[in-house]
């Protein structure tokens, strides 16, 4: 009976998936393949495709200094922001996971910065605050420190932008807090009876219990941060000395300033490859630390 | 401290979970650090350039309300009234279309068995990792052929066709947590699959749908890259482009004016968030509950 | 029971949502259709225009600029519309930031505005990549007010005899001197026969007296555009010849970059890390300029007023532009800051031409526009501006200096965004002390070679 109903249903499933399927083909797969084709061509806006084989990739890897720099910057950007954001979110979530009066208000207020992810308004605010004569430097000099060129120093500009991203840890925190609240109390009580310490409890109870959410948070943040464009583009425009010139900016410049669509497509494919590698590594590692309750 | 403790005893709660004075202090300090930039932005909106640069005082000496009046005028000819209307026209349909399409797709994946399901689901997940940038150039050409450039169709179409896998994924995760027996029995009772979705599952999905809707609203509202590429005429600029334009490069930048409009730009998000935060946090909590 | 009611409610609202959603899509499709019809209507107009101008015509006019320019331009549009019932011109003022990126894609896709403002140094790239612009010689625009020599230059819109754009003004480099500060430190940037080396000496003098003060308010983009490109032309005559072959030598570049390094080393200019806060055209936002800490700002005639407005209380004079004794070319190109062109995708080029005619020749229009697009390109317009006090003395002085020194406009390769970026990067690297002038010259020379035709 049950089996029969399922086979009958299967035809309808495709109907529900139809919008997605059309989108998949028309707006994802075809463009995906097209940009792959473009990447092997010399192609400017308005011109015909001109097949050049691997030339774009060869140029990227062997001649374009900016590319290696952007690759490094993009990866650093993700390596600073993702752990920074997730660890901070987890710490704050664990701190808040207790009997606090007005916890809802606290949770809400902490979430506010996350509302502005990718917002131009906030990126401009950051730029204004961290300028050489901005308010942050004014505060530092009031406290007796020298002025720091946050956006002018090649070593500080990227961390300063990353700080904006990390500041927006609230969304991950709310998710993790919900996950923490959901860990069955009995588990801790049982551990208390066994006399386990705080650290043991964290690694044996808390972490496995919240691991699916943690994984989801890391995965998402990682994909987003590797694609970030607005913050570095608005705050520093990729400078100084290209120290914040993420692949997104390089691609935008090559594609929309110099009209080298073929070359830009090659960059987009490299960006895709990096995201793929990061994601696969995460998925690979998930076997060892992500525990699904019902699987 | 003492009074707190005595209260705790009265309430009969375990003392060790109760936050102490120090904890509240830490919560307060984190809160101030987190919200200071926003508060500063709000105050800067009333300041002149001289006050913004070089002073640490939070409150303006002289409250320049004209920053808002001047800023609202926008870039000659188009006021922020226009930009807000544009944003609404861009964001609301996109959000609604996303919810409809994601619900259908999530339902299809979560509740049916069909050939190639595993493969299709893997593709759905894989698409989450597809960078926007890898498809933006060909998509531009495609939209151009449809004469959709400089309209909001480049935002509506991917929403209608469920191109952001995050939303169906989120809803699938949520649906998995709802016992199948519910809709299974409804189905056996003679309910059609669509009716089962609408009558049984949809009410239960409310928190997740709210959450998804809010996310999509925020993302579309904040989006800069796509607006930059797809929206050309100032007449159709959404807020994000308008705010960037306020930093016009050929006049002296009045940062107070820019910050005033930045405040105005983030205000709807704040209002929306405070109005809906109960559902929002609930949504995250419930969807977060399931793997 | 309550649950059932709730679910019914939600189901209803969901269905309503679906219907609404469909309604929205329908509407969007309809408006797309309308747009199509509109275009079709317009092309009909094109044929009927002489018979009835009453048919409604809508044209788009895109430009970048600040508030003043926007207001003046919109006012001229209103004047024109009042004279031509049925014609609507939609102004699309924008920011110069990203304007040309966007325009490039719009041109390629045929969605550009009907009348567009273009940076003359970007124009060659557009002309090369497609047949995008109407030859204005074939239109009704009266060009008799322009000097034939001036609009005959390629940089001013004339491409192989085709007038693809009209210059909106005369622009060139300028050195805006804050006289109060200059006197305070005892440096004279207005002396005739000023040499490049003088800048170094003056810079030292200034910085020695006040460690927070610098001679020039400048950033890497302005160093490149005003110093490096000028020095390139003074040294080599031109960077690339008309066949697209590289003329300048690596030695020339080495000596130029050595000079740039001296600017930084001797604190003639602020440290690179400070300059990084003010990217591109943002130098007027430099808080130290606003506070009157710099002696001078190398800028353009078209931006003199903006720089003055940033710190209006000071007294200003126009400084001299240095020309090396052995210079092969004045190097300081005076040309238009913008071109106005009619795109081939324009639905009604006749009306667009009439608008440009009004824009460039009508007295009321000229009075309204004033000097919002730099010093006007025609004598007629300049006279009107001077009579109305719309041209300030400092701007007129700066224009006189620039025109007197003159120089060949930048060739299209070295003025391309790509070639400039090579220089921006080199200047920035020198500013940060990351590479030596020799290395910079070698790298730039190599990359310049790649851009050869």
> Can you tell me the distance from the alpha carbon of B31 to that of C13, in angstroms, rounded to the nearest whole number?
38
The residue-averaged pLDDT of C162-182 equals 91
Q: C281 contacts in B (CB within 8 Å)?
A: 249-250
- Residue in B77, B150, B199 nearest the CB of C111: B150
Q: What is the DSSP letter of C148?
A: H
Higher pLDDT, residue B20 or C228: C228
Phi, psi angle pair for C89, to nearest 5° = -115, 115
Contact C246, C448 (CB under 8 A): yes
CATH number at B193 reads: 1.10.3720.10
Which chains contact C through at least 3 pairs of Cβ atoms less than 8 Å apart? Answer: A, B
Q: How many CB atoms lie within 10 A of CB A76?
A: 16
Cβ contact (<8 Å) for B198 and C90? no
Structural element, H or E, at residue C353: helix C349-361
**The pTM is what?**
0.77
Query: What pLDDT shows up at residue B248?
Result: 62
Query: What pLDDT shows up at residue C248?
Result: 93
Is B32 part of the contact surface with chain A (CB cutoff 8 Å)?
Answer: no
Query: What pLDDT shows up at residue B281?
Result: 65
Query: What pLDDT shows up at residue C1?
Result: 38
3-class state of residue A136 by DSSP = helix
Cβ contact (<8 Å) for A107 and B281? yes
Query: What pLDDT shows up at residue C31?
Result: 40
> pLDDT digit string (tens) for B66-123?
999 988 987 756 889 999 999 999 999 999 999 999 999 999 998 888 888 899 999 9
3-class state of residue A14 by DSSP = helix
- Residue in B54, B100, B151 nearest the CB of C17: B100
Higher pLDDT, residue C411 or A78: A78
Instruction: Decide if pLDDT at B283 tops 80.
Output: no
Structural element, H or E, at residue C175: strand C173-178
> pLDDT digit string (tens) for C129-153?
888 999 999 999 999 888 777 788 7
Are residues B170 and B196 both part of a single domain?
yes
Which residue is closest to B149 within chain C, CA to CA? C111
Are residues B37 and B55 both part of a single domain?
yes
Cβ contact (<8 Å) for C287 and B152? no
The residue-averaged pLDDT of C311-325 equals 89
Are residues B105 and B41 both part of a single domain?
no
pLDDT more than 90, % of chain B: 34
- Radius of gyration from C-alpha coordinates of chain C: 26
Cβ contact (<8 Å) for B76 and C97? no
Contacts of B160 by beta carbon, 8 Å cutoff, 6+ apart: A19, A23, B97, B100, B101, C21, C25
Contacts of A266 by beta carbon, 8 Å cutoff, 6+ apart: A39, A56, A57, A60
Instruction: Decide if pLDDT at A136 tops 50.
Output: yes
Is C111 part of the contact surface with chain B (CB cutoff 8 Å)?
Answer: yes
Query: What pLDDT shows up at residue B97?
Result: 96
- Residue in B152, B206, B234 nearest the CB of C93: B234
Q: Residues 265 to 294 of A: which have CB under 8 A from any B CB?
A: 265, 268-269, 271-272, 275-276, 279, 292-294
In this prediction, residue B208 has a pLDDT band, given cuts at 50, 70 and 90, of confident
Q: How many CB atoms lie within 10 A of CB B22?
A: 9
What is the domain partition of chain A in residue ranges?
41-115+158-289
Q: C428 contacts in A (CB within 8 Å)?
A: 239-241
Q: B52 contacts in A (CB within 8 Å)?
A: 128, 135
Q: What is the CATH number of domain A41-115+158-289?
A: 1.10.3720.10
Are residues B57 and B120 both part of a single domain?
no
State the smallest CA–CA distance between residue C78 and chain A in angstroms.
32
Q: A243 contacts in C (CB within 8 Å)?
A: none
Mean pLDDT of chain B: 83
Are residues B169 and B152 both part of a single domain?
yes
Strands C115-118 and C87-94: unpaired
Is C95 part of the contact surface with chain B (CB cutoff 8 Å)?
Answer: yes
**How many angstroms separate the first and last alpha carbons of chain A?**
25
Instruction: Decide if pLDDT at B289 tops 60.
Output: no
Q: What is the DSSP letter of B147?
A: T
Are residues B125 and B267 both part of a single domain?
yes
Cβ contact (<8 Å) for C280 and A241? no
Mean pLDDT of chain C: 82
Are residues B123 and B39 both part of a single domain?
no
3-class state of residue C318 by DSSP = strand
Domain residues for the domain of B108 are 75-289
Is B279 part of the contact surface with chain C (CB cutoff 8 Å)?
Answer: no
Phi, psi angle pair for C58, to nearest 5° = -120, 125
- Residue in C102, C277, C280 nearest the CB of A131: C277
Contact B105, A20 (CB under 8 A): yes
Instruction: Decide if pLDDT at B16 tops 70.
Output: no
Q: Structurally, how many domains does chain B consist of? A: 2
Is B260 part of the contact surface with chain A (CB cutoff 8 Å)?
Answer: no
Cβ contact (<8 Å) for B147 and C281? no
Q: What is the ipTM of this complex?
A: 0.88
The residue-averaged pLDDT of C303-326 equals 88
- Residue in A133, A153, A259 nearest the CB of C287: A133
Higher pLDDT, residue B50 or A275: A275
3-class state of residue B245 by DSSP = helix
Are residues B108 and B251 both part of a single domain?
yes
To test the contact with chain C by mutation, choose from B233, B259, B279 the residue with the greatest count of C C-beta atoms within 10 A, namely: B233
- Residue in C98, C108, C271 nearest the CB of A45: C108
> Can you tell me the distance from the alpha carbon of C352 to that of C367, in angstroms, rounded to the nearest whole number?
20
Instruction: Decide if pLDDT at C217 tops 70.
Output: yes
Is A153 part of the contact surface with chain C (CB cutoff 8 Å)?
Answer: yes
Which residue is closest to C36 within chain B, CA to CA? B147
> Can you tell me the distance from the alpha carbon of C210 to that of C264, in angstroms, rounded to the nearest whole number?
16
Is B88 part of the contact surface with chain C (CB cutoff 8 Å)?
Answer: no
Strands C173-178 and C214-216: unpaired
> Can you tell me the distance from the alpha carbon of C95 to that of B245, in angstroms, rounded to the nearest whole number?
6
Higher pLDDT, residue B278 or C24: B278
> pLDDT digit string (tens) for B155-170?
999 999 999 888 998 8
Query: What pLDDT shows up at residue C79?
Result: 94
Are residues B29 and B131 both part of a single domain?
no
In this prediction, residue C27 has a pLDDT band, given cuts at 50, 70 and 90, of very low
Structural element, H or E, at residue B281: helix B255-289
Contact C339, C166 (CB under 8 A): yes
> pLDDT digit string (tens) for C101-120?
788 888 888 889 999 999 88
Are residues B149 and B236 both part of a single domain?
yes
> Can you tell me the distance from the alpha carbon of C177 to that of C161, in angstroms, rounded to the nearest whole number?
40
Q: A241 contacts in C (CB within 8 Å)?
A: 428-429, 432, 434
Cβ contact (<8 Å) for A35 and B259? no
Is A132 part of the contact surface with chain C (CB cutoff 8 Å)?
Answer: yes
Are residues B40 and B94 both part of a single domain?
no
Of C167, C161, C114, nearest to C344 (Cα)?
Answer: C114
Which residue is closest to B245 within chain C, CA to CA? C95
3-class state of residue C392 by DSSP = coil
CA distances from C23 to B194, C20, C27, C35 (A): 21, 5, 6, 18
> Can you tell me the distance from the alpha carbon of B140 to that of B151, in angstroms, rounded to the nearest whole number?
12
- Radius of gyration from C-alpha coordinates of chain B: 24
Are residues B196 and B171 both part of a single domain?
yes
Burial class (CB in 10 A: 0-12, 13-18, 19+), C34: exposed
Higher pLDDT, residue C374 or B95: B95
Query: What pLDDT shows up at residue C50?
Result: 43
Query: What pLDDT shows up at residue C193?
Result: 86
Domains and CATH numbers, chain C: 55-167+339-372 (3.40.190.10), 173-335+397-450 (3.40.190.10)
Minimum mean pLDDT among B13-27, B71-85, C342-356: which range?
A: B13-27
Strands C115-118 and C57-64: parallel
Query: What pLDDT shows up at residue A188?
Result: 86
Query: What pLDDT shows up at residue C17?
Result: 35
- Residue in A133, A151, A257 nearest the CB of C276: A151
Minimum mean pLDDT among B275-289, C158-172, C368-382: which range?
A: B275-289
Is C16 part of the contact surface with chain B (CB cutoff 8 Å)?
Answer: no
In this prediction, residue B254 has a pLDDT band, given cuts at 50, 70 and 90, of confident
Q: How many CB atoms lie within 10 A of CB C18?
A: 17
In this prediction, residue B17 has a pLDDT band, given cuts at 50, 70 and 90, of low
Query: What pLDDT shows up at residue C40?
Result: 41
- Residue in C105, C277, C432 nearest the CB of A151: C277
Instruction: Decide if pLDDT at C11 tops 60.
Output: no
Is C14 part of the contact surface with chain B (CB cutoff 8 Å)?
Answer: yes
Per-range mean pLDDT, top range of B151-165, B229-243, C1-15, C376-390: B151-165
Which residue is closest to C98 within chain A, CA to CA? A257
State the smallest CA–CA distance between residue C24 and chain B in angstroms.
7
Which residue is closest to C69 within chain B, CA to CA? B76
- Encoding tokens for residue B219? 């993302």
Helices (H), C168-249: 179-185, 196-209, 220-222, 229-236
Helices (H), B162-201: 166-176, 180-188, 193-195
Query: What pLDDT shows up at residue A294?
Result: 53
The residue-averaged pLDDT of B136-143 equals 86
- Encoding tokens for residue C96? 């110069």
Query: What pLDDT shows up at residue B187?
Result: 75
Of B45, A129, B61, B50, nearest to C291 (Cα)?
Answer: B50
């Amino acid at each position: 009976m049950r089996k029969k109903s399922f086979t009958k249903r299967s035809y309808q499933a495709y109907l529900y998936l139809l919008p997605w399927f059309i989108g998949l083909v028309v707006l994802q797969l075809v463009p995906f393949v097209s940009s792959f084709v473009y990447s092997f061509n010399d192609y400017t806006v308005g011109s015909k495709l001109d097949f050049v084989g691997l030339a774009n990739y060869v140029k990227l890897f062997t001649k374009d200094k900016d590319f290696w720099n952007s690759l490094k910057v993009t990866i650093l950007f993700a390596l600073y922001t993702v752990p920074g954001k997730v660890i901070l979110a987890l710490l704050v979530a664990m701190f808040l996971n207790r009997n606090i009066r007005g916890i809802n208000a606290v949770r809400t207020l902490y979430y506010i910065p996350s509302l502005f992810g990718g917002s131009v308004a906030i990126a401009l605010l950051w730029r204004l605050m961290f300028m050489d004569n901005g308010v942050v430097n004014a505060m530092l000099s009031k406290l007796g420190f020298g002025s720091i060129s946050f956006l002018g120093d090649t070593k500080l500009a990227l961390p300063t932008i990353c700080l904006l991203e990390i500041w927006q840890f609230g969304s991950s925190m709310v998710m993790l807090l919900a996950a923490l609240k959901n860990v069955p109390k009995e588990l801790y009580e049982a551990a208390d009876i066994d006399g386990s310490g705080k650290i043991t409890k964290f690694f044996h109870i808390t972490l496995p219990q919240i691991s699916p959410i943690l994984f989801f948070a890391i995965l998402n943040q990682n994909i987003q941060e590797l694609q970030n464009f607005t913050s570095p583009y608005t705050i520093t425009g990729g400078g100084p000395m290209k120290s914040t010139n993420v692949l997104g900016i390089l691609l935008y410049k090559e594609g929309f300033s110099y009209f080298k669509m073929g070359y830009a497509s090659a960059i987009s494919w490299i960006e895709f490859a990096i995201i793929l590698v990061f994601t696969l590594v995460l998925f690979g590692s998930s076997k060892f630390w992500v525990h699904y309750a019902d699987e | 401290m003492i009074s707190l403790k005595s209260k705790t005893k009265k309430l009969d709660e375990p003392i060790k979970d109760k936050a102490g004075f120090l904890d509240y202090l830490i919560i307060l300090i984190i809160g101030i650090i987190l919200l200071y930039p926003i508060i500063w932005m709000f105050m800067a909106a009333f300041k002149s350039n001289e006050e913004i640069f070089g002073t640490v005082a939070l409150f303006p000496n002289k409250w320049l309300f004209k920053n808002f009046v001047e800023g609202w005028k926008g870039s000659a000819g188009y006021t922020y009234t226009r930009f807000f209307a544009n944003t609404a026209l861009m964001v609301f349909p996109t959000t609604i279309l996303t919810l409809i399409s994601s619900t259908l797709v999530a339902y299809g994946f979560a509740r049916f068995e069909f050939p190639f399901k595993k493969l299709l689901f893997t593709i759905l997940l894989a698409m989450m990792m597809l960078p926007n940038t890898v498809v933006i150039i060909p998509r531009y050409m495609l939209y151009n052929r449809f004469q959709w450039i400089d309209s909001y169709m480049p935002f509506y179409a991917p929403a209608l066709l469920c191109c952001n896998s995050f939303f169906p994924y989120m809803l699938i995760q949520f649906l998995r947590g709802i016992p199948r027996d519910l809709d299974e029995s409804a189905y056996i009772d003679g309910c059609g699959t669509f009716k089962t979705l609408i009558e049984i599952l949809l009410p239960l999905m409310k928190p997740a749908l709210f959450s998804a809707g809010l996310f999509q609203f925020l993302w579309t509202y904040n989006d800069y890259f796509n607006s930059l590429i797809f929206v050309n005429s100032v007449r159709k600029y959404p807020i994000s482009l308008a705010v960037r334009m306020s930093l016009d490069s050929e006049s002296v930048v009045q940062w107070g004016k820019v910050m005033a409009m930045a405040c105005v730009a983030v205000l709807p998000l704040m209002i929306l968030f405070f109005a809906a935060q109960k559902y929002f946090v609930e949504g995250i909590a419930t969807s977060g509950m399931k793997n | 029971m309550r649950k059932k009611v709730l679910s019914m409610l939600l189901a209803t609202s969901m269905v309503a949502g679906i219907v609404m959603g469909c309604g929205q899509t329908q509407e969007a499709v309809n408006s797309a259709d309308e747009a199509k019809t509109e275009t079709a209507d317009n092309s009909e107009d094109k044929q009927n225009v002489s018979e009835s101008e009453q048919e409604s015509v809508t044209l788009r006019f895109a430009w970048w600029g600040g508030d003043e320019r926007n207001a003046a331009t919109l006012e001229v549009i209103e004047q024109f519309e009042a004279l031509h019932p049925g014609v609507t011109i939609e102004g699309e003022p924008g920011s110069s930031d990203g304007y040309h990126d966007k325009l490039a894609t719009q041109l390629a896709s045929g969605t550009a505005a009907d009348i567009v403002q273009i940076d003359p140094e970007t124009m060659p790239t557009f002309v090369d990549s497609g047949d995008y612009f109407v030859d204005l010689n074939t239109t009704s625009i009266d060009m008799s007010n322009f000097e034939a020599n001036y609009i005959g230059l390629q940089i001013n819109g004339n491409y192989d005899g085709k007038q693809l754009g009209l210059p909106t003004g005369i622009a060139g480099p300028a050195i805006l001197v804050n006289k109060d500060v200059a006197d305070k430190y005892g440096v004279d940037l207005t002396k005739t026969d000023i040499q490049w080396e003088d800048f170094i000496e003056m810079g030292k003098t200034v910085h020695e007296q006040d460690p927070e003060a610098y001679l020039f308010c400048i950033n890497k983009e302005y160093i490149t555009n005003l110093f490096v490109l000028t020095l390139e032309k003074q040294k080599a005559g031109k960077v690339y010849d008309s066949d697209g072959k590289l003329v300048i030598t690596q030695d020339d570049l080495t000596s130029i970059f050595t000079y740039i390094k001296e600017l930084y080393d001797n604190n003639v200019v602020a440290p690179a890390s400070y300059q990084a806060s003010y990217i591109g055209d943002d130098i007027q936002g430099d808080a130290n300029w606003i506070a009157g800490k710099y002696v001078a700002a190398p800028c353009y005639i078209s931006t003199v007023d903006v720089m003055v407005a940033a710190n209006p209380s000071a007294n200003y004079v126009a400084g001299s532009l240095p020309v090396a004794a052995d210079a092969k070319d004045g190097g300081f190109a005076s040309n238009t800051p913008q071109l106005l062109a009619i795109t081939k995708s324009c639905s009604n080029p006749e009306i667009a031409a009439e608008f440009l005619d009004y824009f460039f020749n009508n007295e009321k229009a000229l009075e309204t526009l004033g000097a919002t697009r730099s010093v006007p390109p025609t004598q007629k317009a300049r006279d009107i501006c001077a009579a109305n006090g719309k041209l300030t003395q400092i701007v007129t002085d700066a224009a006189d200096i620039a025109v007197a020194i003159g120089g060949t406009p930048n060739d299209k390769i070295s003025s391309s965004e790509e070639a400039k970026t090579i220089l921006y990067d080199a200047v920035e690297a020198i500013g940060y002390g990351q590479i030596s002038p020799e290395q910079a010259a070698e790298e730039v020379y190599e990359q310049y070679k790649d851009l050869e035709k």
